[in-house]
């Protein structure tokens, strides 16, 4: 099971659990309809498209309304603390939720009580909470953008709004240095997928791949283009790909979907997501072959 956990901008949405499905640009979960916009809805929608293309079951979702009060987020944390061992998902993606350090620690402890600890992915404020709580190393994969990488590289910061100025002002040429700092201070998951003008994939402190083509600068402006990468990585790992192959495919697919959608700064994320099946049909096999060849070369003595 791929379990995606997050919040939706619907104040009245109770904690809702169910299989996700797309109905046009509406995400359906347990009888609730959520517009496919920036945030966890975009992440789940991209995961749905990916798993559907691969002929895999749809993702299971734990979604709750929260407009920032944290009430919904706390219900979500409590449910995870109580139910993760029973649910025993293969992959968990933690996403938009109020960062609460103590509760995130307990979620990670709960994950370890499952028969087999799930592959743990954190993005958005779930990643902030994991880093601030000092448990980043318990996670398998983070998907920061450049400003969030600066946050991971700053050993003291508990939120990206309090990052040291010199780190925030760093440009993409300093990504290797910031990746090294994030691993050195224990603030990185085992694998990092750094999203930006040039995407970087790092594992255990080493940058394994960079990608900057096709170059679609408008993607940075479109709300949800980071969420879609996290959704695709989660789906691909769940489908059996190793995390580096999954990351390589996801960042390529995101860029190519932007190209196919003719992305401009006014494009909506649902237009990018709609392009994904065509992107997979055209490129998935080739990208997977290429990633596997490079993986074999990397592991050769």
Q: How far is the CB of 292 from another protein (least distance, A)?
A: 32
Q: In what order do the strands lie in the sheet with 26-29?
A: 32-35, 26-29, 16-23, 60-65, 2-8, 91-94, 119-122, 141-142, 191-194, 199-203, 206-211
Residue matched to tokens 């010199």: 166
Q: What is the Cα–Cα distance from 138 to 136, expressed in whole angstroms?
A: 5
Cβ 162 to another protein, closest distance in Å? 5
Q: Where are the alpha helices (DSSP H) in 54-99?
A: 71-87
- What are 125's two structure tokens? 């404020």
Minimum CB–partner distance for residue 284 and another protein (Å): 26
Q: Contact with another protein (CB under 8 A): which of 87, 182, 222, 236? A: 222
In the bound complex, what is the minimum distance in angstroms from residue 68's beta carbon to another protein?
3
Q: How many residues bind another protein (CB under 8 A)?
A: 66
Q: Which of residues 166-195 bind another protein (CB under 8 A)?
A: 168-169
Quick check: 231 and 4 in contact, CB under 8 A?
yes
Report which DSSP code applies to 9: S
Contact with another protein (CB under 8 A): which of 159, 206, 289, 298? 159
Pairing of strands 199-203, 206-211: antiparallel
Q: Give the binding range for another protein (CB under 8 A) out of 16-24, 67-75, 206-214, 234-242.
A: 67-75
Q: How far is the CB of 220 from another protein (least distance, A)?
A: 7
Q: By three-state DSSP, how is residue 235 classified?
A: helix
223 in contact with another protein (CB under 8 A): yes
Out of 31, 156, 296, 297, the only residue in the binding site for another protein (CB under 8 A) is 156
Paired residues of 209 in beta bridges: 201
CB of 264 to another protein, least distance (A): 8
Binding mask 124-143 for another protein (x = CB under 8 A): xxxxx---xxx---------
- From candidates 2, 3, 5, 8, binder to another protein by CB under 8 A: 8
State which of positions 232-291 bind another protein (CB under 8 A): 264-267
Q: Give the long-range contacts of residues 126-131, CB within 8 A, separation 24 or more.
A: 126/5, 126/6, 126/94, 126/95, 126/96, 126/97, 126/99, 127/94, 128/99, 128/158, 128/159, 128/160, 129/97, 129/99, 129/100, 129/101, 129/103, 129/104, 130/94, 130/104, 130/189, 131/187
Residues 94-113 that bind another protein (CB under 8 A): 95-102, 105-106
Q: How many of the other CB atoms lie within 10 Å of CB of 263?
A: 23
**Residue whose CB is less far from another protein, 82 or 204:** 82
Contacts (Cβ under 8 Å, ≥6 apart) of 102? 133
**Identified binder of another protein from the candidate list 21, 71, 211, 259, rule CB under 8 A:** 71
Identify which of residues 216 and 284 has a Cβ nearer to another protein in the complex: 216
Q: How far apart are CA 60 and CA 44, in angstroms?
A: 9
Question: Tokens representing 188?
Answer: 């990185």
Listed ranges 13-21, 49-57, 90-98, 279-287: which one lies at the site for another protein (CB under 8 A) = 90-98
Interface residues with another protein (CB under 8 A)?
7-9, 35, 37-41, 66-73, 95-102, 105-106, 123-128, 132-134, 145, 147-148, 151, 154, 156-165, 168-169, 217-218, 220-226, 264-267
């Amino acid at each position: 099971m791929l379990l995606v956990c997050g919040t939706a901008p619907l104040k009245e949405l109770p904690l809702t659990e169910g299989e996700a499905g797309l109905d046009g640009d509406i995400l359906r979960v347990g009888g609730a309809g959520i517009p496919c916009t920036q945030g966890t809805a975009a992440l789940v929608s991209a995961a749905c498209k990916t798993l559907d293309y691969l002929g895999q079951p749809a993702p299971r979702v734990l979604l709750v309304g929260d407009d920032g009060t944290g009430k919904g987020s706390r219900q979500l944390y409590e449910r995870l603390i109580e139910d993760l061992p029973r649910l025993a998902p293969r992959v968990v993606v933690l996403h938009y939720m109020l960062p609460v350090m103590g509760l995130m620690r307990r979620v990670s402890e709960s994950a370890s009580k499952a028969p087999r600890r799930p592959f743990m992915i954190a993005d958005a404020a779930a990643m902030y909470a994991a880093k601030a709580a000092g448990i980043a190393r318990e996670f398998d994969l983070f998907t920061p953008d450049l400003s969030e990488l600066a946050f991971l590289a700053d050993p003291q910061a508990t939120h990206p709004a309090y990052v040291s100025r010199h780190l925030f002002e760093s440009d993409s040429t300093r990504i290797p240095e910031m990746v090294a700092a994030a691993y050195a201070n224990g603030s990185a998951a085992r694998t990092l997928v750094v999203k930006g003008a040039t995407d970087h994939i790092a594992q255990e402190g080493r940058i394994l791949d960079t990608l900057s083509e096709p170059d679609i600068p408008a993607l940075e402006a479109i709300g949800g283009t980071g969420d879609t990468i996290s959704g695709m990585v989660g789906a691909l790992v769940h489908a059996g790909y190793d995390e580096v192959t999954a990351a390589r495919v996801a960042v390529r697919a995101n860029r190519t979907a932007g190209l196919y959608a003719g992305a401009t700064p006014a494009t909506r994320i649902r237009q990018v997501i709609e392009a994904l099946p065509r992107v997979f049909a055209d490129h998935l096999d080739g990208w997977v072959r290429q990633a596997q060849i490079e993986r074999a070369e990397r592991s050769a003595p």
